């Protein structure tokens, strides 16, 4: 199935971010990357902010799909351990500079960050508010933090060898 024009635009915008950061996202730059006119872009996204919000939603939907596939079921039908194992698998295989830059750009903007918060709320255990947690909860927290750390390091530096990444993902799954 051919991707929609909207998806093509969002993918082009991610390429612009990957190359030049979030500040490089202009109607002109994205239109050029998407191979369309600025007017065509404005038809789909009336403002830059609307386009950025759509990018967050687009990426969060991709994560949700990947997490559902990794778990073999939607979050609401998966156990805590299954959700966290799926998160560890996906986080260790999905790291792009564009995702990181978008998240950093909007971490203090609740509306923009809402799609990410929704994914995290469905798929990861909440961060504890105190140190009084069970050993099992501690293992789950360590698995989540390790998956997040691997995602971060892979978005900032050279990715690990795929076999090493797979070994780490499998080990994190056992902690979940």
Residues of the chain below pLDDT 50: 1
What string of H, E and C letters represents the secondary structure of 27-73? HHHHHHHHCCCHHHHHHHCCCHHHHHHHHHHHHHHHHHHHHHHHHCC
Residue of 49, 64, 57 lying closest to 7 (CA atoms):
57
Residue of 89, 104, 85, 83 lying closest to 155 (CA atoms):
104
Residue environment code for 117-142, b if the CB has 16+ CB neighbours within 10 A, otherwise e: eebbebbbbeeeeeeeeeeeeebbbe
Question: pTM value?
Answer: 0.85
pLDDT of 106: 82
Cα angle 120, 80, 114; round to 5? 15
Cα radius of gyration (the chain): 18
pLDDT of 3: 57
pLDDT of 1: 44
pLDDT of 57: 94
């Amino acid at each position: 199935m051919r991707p929609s024009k909207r998806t093509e635009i969002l993918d082009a915008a991610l390429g612009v971010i990957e190359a030049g950061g979030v500040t490089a996202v202009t109607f002109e730059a994205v239109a050029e990357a998407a191979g369309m006119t600025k007017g065509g872009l404005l038809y789909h996204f009336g403002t830059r902010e609307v386009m950025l919000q759509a990018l967050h939603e687009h990426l969060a939907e991709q994560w949700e799909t990947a997490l559902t596939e990794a778990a073999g079921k939607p979050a609401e039908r998966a156990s805590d351990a299954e959700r966290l194992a799926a998160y560890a698998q996906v986080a260790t295989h999905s790291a792009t500079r564009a995702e990181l830059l978008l998240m950093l750009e909007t971490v203090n903007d609740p509306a923009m960050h809402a799609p990410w918060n929704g994914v995290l709320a469905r798929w990861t255990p909440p961060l504890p508010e105190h140190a009084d947690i069970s050993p099992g909860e501690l293992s789950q927290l360590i698995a989540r933090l390790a998956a997040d750390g691997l995602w971060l390091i892979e978005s900032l530096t050279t990715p690990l060898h795929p076999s090493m990444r797979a070994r780490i993902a499998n080990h994190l799954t056992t902690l979940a």
